[in-house]
Amino acid sequence: MTDFDHYLSGELSEAGHRLAQRVYYEDTDFSGVVYHARYLHFLERGRTDYLRLLGVEQGSLILEEDREGLVFVVHRMEIDFRLPARMDDILTILTATEKAGGAKMILNQEIRRGEQLLIAARVIIAVINAAGRPRRLPEGLAARFLARAGRVAGAH
């Protein structure tokens, strides 16, 4: 990963991950407010870059991890829509690990505009193998997530 890749992927801290994103016209509805389903895209980018900075390449896990394959899939998501974002807003997507072990992970996420909490989400991630069956998260991988364990401020 290059320095530029790191720059695009946000930053890690002991508390988790932070990613900045701008709201574009394509993210909004006719009123100029972010369309509710677009928040899922922002949250996914936050989770993906969190994994990337932890050294987890999702594309290679299905092929390499213990030959059984390893895939992360969203099992459940709870979202509180608190305030709307608008075109040209600069958003911060925060992601922190609540739990990592067994066949699941729980991540807490927020989307903020400055100090204002816009979205709070709790995401339960199932860990499965290449055949779609549950599998345990390898201990070394769980340890990487747990090193960033914490709760983002507005999480459930």
Q: What is the pLDDT along the chain (156 residues), one digit of tens a residue?
A: 566 566 689 999 888 899 999 999 999 999 999 999 999 999 999 999 999 998 887 766 766 656 788 899 999 999 999 999 999 999 999 999 999 999 999 999 999 999 999 999 999 999 998 889 999 998 888 998 888 776 665 554
H/E stretch holding 139: helix 139-146
Instruction: Spell out where 52-152 has E strands.
Output: 71-81, 90-101, 104-113, 116-128
pLDDT for 151: 60
For the beta carbon of residue 86, count every other beta carbon within 10 angstroms: 14
- The predicted structure's pLDDT at residue 62: 66
Report the half-sphere exposure of 90 (CA within 13 A, side-chain side).
Answer: 5
For the chain, the domains span 3-146
Annotated catalytic residue: which of 29, 49, 66, 80? 29
pLDDT of the residue at 63: 60
CATH architecture of 3-146: Roll (3.10)
**Entry pTM:** 0.88
Residue in 83, 85, 81, 79 with CA at minimum distance from that of residue 34: 85
Burial (CB < 10 A; 0-12, 13-18, 19+), residue 20, is exposed
Judge whether 3 counts as a catalytic residue. no
Helix (H) / strand (E) element for 51: namely helix 38-53
Residue 8 has a pLDDT of 86
